[in-house]
Amino acid sequence: MTDLFTTIVRSPVARKVGVPQPTRLRRYEPGMPLCDGPVLVAGHGRFADGVASWLGGAGVRAVSAPTEAGDKVGAVVLDLSTAIDPAELDQLRLLGAPAVKALKRNGRVVVIGTDPATLTDVAQVTTQRALEGAVRSIGKELRGGATANLVLAQEDAQDGVRSAVEFFLSGRSAYVDGQVVRVDASTTGDADALRPLAGKVAVVTGAARGIGAEIARVLSRDGATVVAVDVPAAGDALAAVANDVKGTALQLDVTADDAGRRIVEHARSRHGGLDVVVHNAGITRDKLFVNMDDDRWRSVMDVNLRSVLRMNEAVLGEGGLSDGGRIVCVASIAGIAGNRGQTNYGASKAGVIGLVEALSRQVADRGITVNAVAPGFIETEMTARIPFATREIGRRMNSLQQGGHPKDVAETIAWLAQPGTGAVTGQVVRVCGQSLLGA
């Protein structure tokens, strides 16, 4: 979906008079190279050699310094995971600045650090925590669709680092900017690069339209068999999505007491099991706090939060989600930053973040991960209803200076659903182009 503003600024007249053009983001399509150009891998941490070696295996040229003047790179990966003193942060500047200068459009900066939560030495924690401020600031300076993200790894988190670095380098993360992802030392097997979800059964709620329909499409493209869930009133649109992805439709109100049980029964009886659950269904019923009525408050809490808690009980019960399964919730930056007129929505989405943090710990011993994505401004029917001026501001106030597409949210969810993402759990990945809200 292209918005009116983008259509106008991309028009021949606007181009002729020099109106700045929002960069067309390099979004993932199956078979496209991981990166557009060589990847500069620098730094002396625990992971740099491994990254250079698997990049080579994936057919990407890894270089250790900017080559002759003028040579551009598609990405730079800087490993500072063993830095223990703030003086070593100079390396970020000395190695990173020339590389960033050589970055192509839609380039990538990925910094690897050590998760400060796993450290005790004060100087070391200080040093590693500093990386976050630097990377978020680099993200705000980059232009031309380029992004900067940080991977904070535990010791021996080779598989997790690979999964996260691959995601950040690829077009799957086109609208993910200024983010921090923590990876633990979980090990994962290899998956088919083109169809990483082959053999998996995935349920997506709120799949009749918008972000949910796109999640269904992307999960199916990546090999999953999809059960598309939505309310009976959206039955026709739901059937169209289910047919499109060659999956099945389940008409269901997620607030029903038996919603979780029916999802599990449907997935088992029609497809033989359940491996991925995406809680995407959501509503807004905005009103200033002082005027908020019972109905608005309760309906938003019921759909966005209480239904998720209830469905998870059934989904995690006997015969439900397989060991090694994935739960991905859709939160919102309104749950991180708050939003005027959205106390109900902000509370429900912040609650989802709490749920993800707590539940992830409970199910870790089964190899199940629980994560959330927090979309920023995404071009959907939900955001098309926002009054024009507010909508324009929401759409532009991010480092990439444009709204995201439903596909951007779907790609991040599909990554979190992969078997290879077992080292990422209890986290929230914002898909917001580094929105200034809650930054």
Which positions lie near ligand NAD, rule CB under 6 A? 205-206, 208-212, 230-231, 234, 253-255, 280-283, 303, 330, 332, 375, 377-378, 380-383
Catalytic residue among 47, 167, 175, 345: 345
Structure tokens at 162: 């690979």
Closer to ligand NAD by Cβ: residue 163 or 280: 280
**58/283 with CB nearer ligand NAD:** 283
Residue 28 designated active-site: no
Report residue 279 as tokens: 């809680």
Q: Which residue has the tokens 């003086």?
A: 87
Structure tokens at 131: 């990386």
Q: Which is nearer to ligand NAD, 3 or 166 (CB)?
A: 3
DSSP tag of 23: P
Question: In the bound complex, what is the minimum distance in angstroms from residue 399's beta carbon to ligand NAD?
Answer: 17
Distance set, CA 160 to CA 155, 163, 187, 323 (Å): 10, 5, 7, 19
Q: How far is the CB of 158 from ligand NAD (least distance, A)?
A: 33
Rounded to a whole number of angstroms, the minimum distance from the CB of residue 224 to ligand NAD is 19
- Rounded least distance, CB 319 to ligand NAD, Å: 22
Residue pair 366/323 in contact by the 8 Å Cβ criterion: yes
The smaller minimum CB distance to ligand NAD, of residues 131 and 328, is found at: 328
Helix 90-101 to helix 122-141 angle, to the nearest 10 degrees? 20
Output DSSP code: residue 22. Answer: P
Least gap, CB of 51 to ligand NAD (angstroms): 32
DSSP per position, 168-212: HHSGGGTT--S-EEEE-S-------SS-TTTT-EEEEESTTSHHH
Could you tell me the smallest distance in angstroms from the CB atom of residue 344 to ligand NAD? 11
Question: What are the start-end ranges of the H helices in 343-432?
Answer: 343-363, 381-384, 388-396, 406-417
Residue 263 tokens, joined:
């999802």
**CA pair distance 245, 206, nearest whole angstrom:** 15
- The answer for 420, left when phi > 0, alpha when psi is -120 to 50, beta otherwise, is alpha
In the bound state with ligand NAD, the residue whose beta carbon lies nearer, of 83 and 303, is: 303
Q: How big is the chain by its Cα radius of gyration, in Å?
A: 21
362 in Cβ contact with 318 (< 8 Å): no
Q: Which residue has the tokens 């106390």?
A: 343
For ligand NAD, the closer CB: 50 or 438: 438
Taking the least distance from each CB to ligand NAD, the nearer of 84 and 283 is 283
406-417 and 210-221 are packed helices; what angle lies between their axes, rounded to 10 degrees? 50
Q: How far is the CB of 239 from ligand NAD (least distance, A)?
A: 13
For residue 113, what is the enclosing H or E element? Answer: strand 103-114
Interhelix angle for 259-271 vs 307-315, to 10°?
40
Closer of 211 and 356 to ligand NAD (Cβ):
211
Nearer to ligand NAD, 195 or 298 (CB): 298
Shortest spacing between CB 290 and ligand NAD, in angstroms: 23
Minimal distance in Å, beta carbon 111 to ligand NAD? 26
**What is the layout of strands, in order, in the sheet containing 180-183?**
62-63, 39-42, 73-79, 103-114, 147-153, 180-183
Q: How far apart are CA 431 and CA 423, in angstroms?
A: 19
Catalytic residues: 345
